[in-house]
Amino acid sequence: ISGDSGEEICPSYFFKDVLSGRRIRNHFNDWQIHISPDIAYTIWMYVTVTDDTEYLRRYGAEIVFEIARFLVSRSHFRKDRNGYDVIRVLGPDEYHENVDNNFFTNFQFRFAAEYAVSLYNWMAEHAPDELSAIVERIGLAEGERADWRDLAERIVLPAPDEETQIIEQFEGYFDLEDTRPEVIRERLLDPGEYWGWPNGIAVETQVTKQADVTQLFVLYPREYPRSVMSANWEYYEPRTQHGSSLSPAVYAIVAAWVGRLDHAYRYFLKSCTIDLYNDNKAVSGGTFIGGIHTAAAGISWQVVVSGFAGMYLTDGGFGFRPHLPNEWQRLSVAVQRRGAGIDVTVQLSDVAAAYTVTCAADAENPIPLEITVGDTTRSVAPGASVPFQIQM
């Protein structure tokens, strides 16, 4: 976590051994490196939604180039694999530190490296003067772009297992004890113990603090088929403790996509009421971790829009594949992209097992919006209202 000065402000010692009182060395500040490519993803998402290319010229491109540089420096080429490892990391699951080739982290490495290459090429065509200024300012060498491309092409990234379709969270994860949070909770000597690295009760088990593999599906909703999402949701959900306030919402979104609507709604309510009921752990390893969970409020909105309405970005607008919870018959959301807004209403249809999705574009929209519902794509002109039918 960087302050305004650019210096690391996340402490090296965050928890303590509640039995001995000795400090625990955590590596959130130097091993949780997926944060850097996460920033590149955020820049891509912002520009994709807003088309703010001025931001790219002034700030975004330089940030992405520096991130790609860091990722190259942090990866290790292995001749026996003819590929790049990313070793000694901490993925989204904060209980397992010092692991190699965390799936989420490596995927984000690949994305950020690819984005850096495409952004460099875009700048060369559309903003050559600004690109030259960046190259000079940060001393970007001629061969660095080739290094980014090589990293993206050869980083180690496991495919789903051919039989189970499950993706291993990190190398060696499946070799750990296969148990559940409620089981290892009984091993606590003190209720305030920290569960994570280096010697917590979860470290040698498959119990995760929060969404990890499942988190990636939320960022890339069309990268993997629903069958892969479903298999991984079913595997990781019972092994996840949800020690982070953001975890229930992630599982809610993917549960909606794979048709586990009861679970989706239960996790949605959990996310919405974290501060209302105040039933999340407030102290861990002697450190207060309670307070107002503002990020959980934001991702609760994402459960409604991305999960229940099934919204995703397309090249020309939005796509929707709704999955309303059993408790709801109707859902309306308003979204905007590149200055063009649209109101979307999902309604249980009179037709059996179907939704009616009505998309009403703002009259002031500067351009038509391309809307995809299920497998049907239509252009919605400013001021127009277009209905779609889609099977549940």
Q: What are phi and psi of 177, to 5 degrees?
A: -60, 130
Give the type of residue at 12: S
Separation of alpha carbons 203 and 268, rounded Å:
28
Cα separation, 111 vs 153, in Å, equals: 10
Q: Identify the CA nearest to 213 among candidates 198, 202, 223.
A: 223
Q: Answer yes or no: are the C-beta atoms of 1 and 8 closer than 8 Å.
A: yes
User: Residue 267 — left, alpha, or beta (φ > 0 → left; ψ -120 to 50 → alpha)?
Assistant: alpha
Distance CA 228, CA 167 (A): 9
Bridge partners (DSSP) listed for residue 205: 177
Whether 94 sits among the annotated catalytic residues: the reply is yes
Pair 174, 101: CB distance under 8 Å = no
Structure tokens belonging to residue 299 = 């991702």
Distance CA 21, CA 226 (A): 46
Q: Which residues of 273-300 are buried (b: 16+ CB within 10 A; e: fewer)?
A: ebbeeeebeeebbbeeeeeebeebeebb
CB neighbours of residue 71 within 10 Å: 27
Quote the longest CA-to-CA distance of the chain: 67
Which of 62, 94, 144, 193 is labelled catalytic?
94
**Residues with catalytic function:** 94
